[in-house]
């Protein structure tokens, strides 16, 4: 029932139950001011971990140990940093205070996670998203120094036994790492197969 651009519905709330139902159904919220807009794009931009591409220069960065990567050490700071990232063509952020509160609640329930990138004990990059079974739904990332968010993303994917990473919509950054489009129907089939039934 989604519109050609993927818009499916508007309204509702950001309760944990509604958000989890949405993600399990291949739907995510994306809006800058009320009402809440719910999306299910076709085609869907995804990354299959076995297709992850790491450039030679990035392999050297990771090998040198410039960054230290952690998971779930500082979710609230990661999502706060993500909300402050300037994105060309966008005024303000879609990661509103209501969104931050909702995803922090999901984090406390074990459904949302953060990946942190540290340099000399300073948080310099990271990302956050929702994990259901072997599916990870990437929401946003930030980088205060070159390659920080990329190092966090690559390290997380390589260390996780994921089947599917939902990138939602196209970005050059994720395309360079191997993400590609698949049909919504294929995405929903994979989601049904790999999301599991018990959250994590």
| Number of CB atoms found within 10 A of residue 114's CB | 25
pTM of the model: 0.91
Q: Which domain holds residue 120?
A: 43-194
Whether 7 is in a domain gets the answer no
pLDDT of residue 87: 52
pLDDT of residue 85: 73
pLDDT of residue 96: 87
pLDDT of residue 159: 95
- Which CATH number belongs to the domain containing residue 127 in this structure? 3.40.630.70
The total of structural domains in the chain comes to 1
Q: How do the pLDDT tens digits run along the chain, 200 residues long?
A: 566 678 889 999 999 999 999 999 999 998 877 899 999 999 999 999 999 999 999 999 999 999 999 999 999 999 999 998 765 444 445 688 999 999 999 999 999 999 999 999 999 999 999 999 999 999 999 999 999 999 999 999 999 999 999 998 898 989 999 999 999 999 999 999 999 744 44
């Amino acid at each position: 029932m989604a519109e050609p651009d993927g818009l499916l519905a508007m309204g509702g709330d950001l309760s944990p139950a509604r958000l989890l139902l949405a993600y399990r159904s291949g739907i995510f919220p994306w809006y800058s001011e009320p009402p809440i807009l719910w999306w299910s794009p076709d085609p869907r931009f995804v990354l299959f971990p076995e297709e992850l591409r790491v450039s030679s220069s990035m392999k050297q960065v990771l090998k040198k140990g410039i960054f230290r990567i952690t998971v779930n050490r500082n979710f609230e700071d990661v999502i706060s940093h993500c909300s402050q990232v300037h994105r060309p063509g966008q005024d303000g952020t879609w990661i509103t205070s209501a969104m931050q509160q909702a995803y922090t609640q999901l984090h406390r329930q074990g459904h949302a996670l953060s990946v942190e990138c540290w340099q000399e004990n300073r948080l310099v990059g990271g990302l956050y998203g929702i994990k259901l079974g072997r599916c990870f739904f990437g929401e946003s990332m930030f980088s205060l120094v070159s390659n920080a968010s990329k190092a966090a993303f690559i390290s997380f994917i390589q260390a996780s036994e994921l089947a599917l990473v939902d990138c939602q919509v196209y970005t050059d950054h994720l395309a360079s790492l191997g993400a590609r489009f698949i049909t919504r129907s294929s995405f929903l089939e994979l989601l049904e197969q790999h999301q599991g039934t018990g959250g994590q």
